[in-house]
Each structure stands twice: as structure tokens, then as C-alpha cells.
Amino acid sequence: AQTVTQSQPEMSVQEAETVTLSCTYDTSENNYYLFWYKQPPSRQMILVIRQEAYKQQNATENRFSVNFQKAAKSFSLKISDSQLGDTAMYFCAFRGTGTASKLTFGTGTRLQVTL
Amino acid sequence: ETGVTQTPRHLVMGMTNKKSLKCEQHLGHNAMYWYKQSAKKPLELMFVYSLEERVENNSVPSRFSPECPNSSHLFLHLHTLQPEDSALYLCASSQDSRGGAGETQYFGPGTRLLVL
């Protein structure tokens, strides 16, 4: 079974600074997908970024980028130029490619962006 | 309206009540999901429907009963719930449920449920 671990329950960053959220996972599969979701206080779960394991290039979406280390099974999220609106819970998630695979979430990291 | 919508946004019910949660997706997706989000726990997948057929049921108690009348609508019927069922219930949809590139799930805003 796959597991996803987010070892940082809470983090804080000042506005305009850069922060990195950690995520590690465990799987025996070779092809899979990794996701970062953001859940602000409004509770809407929003997809931030997605990475296919077979792609070596790290995914980037504007101020959000990932550092995907397949051998180390690590998938960290970097947020550059942090904004107050980035304050939210961030969830890392894994999904294999088998028909029985499901989306497995970590326990989340609460990020607070301060002035 | 776009994306995934859920109603109601908040629900308070007694243990003897019967209520239903509704989810609607406007993305043309074929798969829909129910998740339970409790405090300090990872999201728990409850049910998966693909093309209106239930493909996964993660050992959910029978007091939760899903219904998927078509690929755009998903319901979660609730009856004789327990206080520990209080949680945020999230609906999601994806293009398909088979783990391919179309697997990215898009979530609704959730229903905050309180069982008294």
C-alpha cells in the first residue's frame, strides 16, 4: 500500500519570501502521479500542481514549483514570492496508474504567510 | 456554473434524522468521488463511481448510502449517523477513474456536517 508523509504540520513564511514544503511517499510502482493540493480557510480543495513520475523535468506553475526526486521518493513544493493568499493547508497526494489505485493524501502542512 | 458544486454547505442533524448531500460537476467528467475529512486525519476515500457504476467502497458503514443517477450528479444519503461522523464531506470528479493522465481530481467546496 502507498503511504504519503508530510513531516511539517505547520510552517510560517513572511510575505515575498520563499518556502518549501516537504513530502515523501512510499510505493513499489514505477509509474504514478503526484499532486499538491491547497485548502484555504474557505475549505475548497484546489489543485496547485501535478507531476507525472515518468517525466524528469520538475513541474512549474507560476510561483509554484516542485523538486521531484524519484529515487529518494521525495516531492517537495516550493512557493516563491509568498503572498497572503497562499495561507492554507497544503496536501501532498499520490496516485498509481493501476485500475485499483486511489488518491492517497498526506496529513497536510498548515502554511501561514505573515506580513 | 462551473466546476464542482456541493449542497448544502453546512448541515446539522440529529442521530435519528435522514438527510442527503448533493454534488454536481459541470466538467464533463466520468468519475465522481466522496471523501471524508476529519480533523488531523488524512482525507479518507469513501466511494468511487465511474460512469454511474460504483467501482470502490472503502468499508464505509451502511449508514452512508451513495447514489449516482448520472455522470454529473452524486448523492450521499445519511441515516442514523453517529457524532463521530461529524466531518467535512468532499466531493470530487475526474475525467476517468482508471489511473491515466485524466485522473486529476477536482474538488467541490465540501459540506460541513455536525451530528448531534
Tell me how many residue pairs between chain A and chain B have CB atoms under 8 A apart: 51
How much is the pLDDT for B100?
58
At A56, the pLDDT band (50, 70, 90 cuts) reads confident
Which of B54, B57, B88 is CA-nearest to residue B74?
B54
How much is the pLDDT for A97?
77
Give me the DSSP letters along B4-65. EEEE-SEEEE-TT-EEEEEEEE-S--SEEEEEEE-TTS--EEEEEEETTEEEEE-S--TTEE
Residue B97 C-alpha cell reads as: 477513474
Q: Which residues contact B28 (CB under 8 A, 6 or more apart)?
A: none
Alpha carbon separation from B6 to A102, B12, B73, B90, B112 (Å, rounded): 22, 15, 10, 8, 10
Which has more pLDDT, A90 or B103? A90
Instruction: Supply the DSSP symbol for B71.
Output: T
Least CB–CB distance from B45: residue in A33, A98, A103: A103
Residue B70 CA to residue B35 CA, distance in Å, equals 19
Let me know: does A24 contact A40? Beta carbons within 8 Å: no
Check whether A82 has a pLDDT greater than 70.
Answer: yes
Residue B19 C-alpha cell reads as: 438527510
Q: What is the pLDDT of residues A97-114, one digit of tens each?
A: 765 567 899 999 999 999
How much is the pLDDT for B74?
96
3-state secondary structure of B77: strand
Q: Return per-residue pLDDT of chain B as tens, 116 residues.
A: 569 999 999 999 998 889 999 999 999 998 999 999 998 788 899 998 887 777 777 789 999 999 999 989 999 999 999 999 999 999 999 887 665 555 788 999 999 999 99
- Mutate: best of A3, A36, A43, partner B, most B CBs <10 A: A43
Touching B: A residues 15-54, CB under 8 Å: 33, 35, 37, 42-47, 50, 52
> B10-13 and B111-115 as β-strands: parallel, antiparallel, unpaired?
parallel
Residue A15 CA to residue A111 CA, distance in Å, equals 12
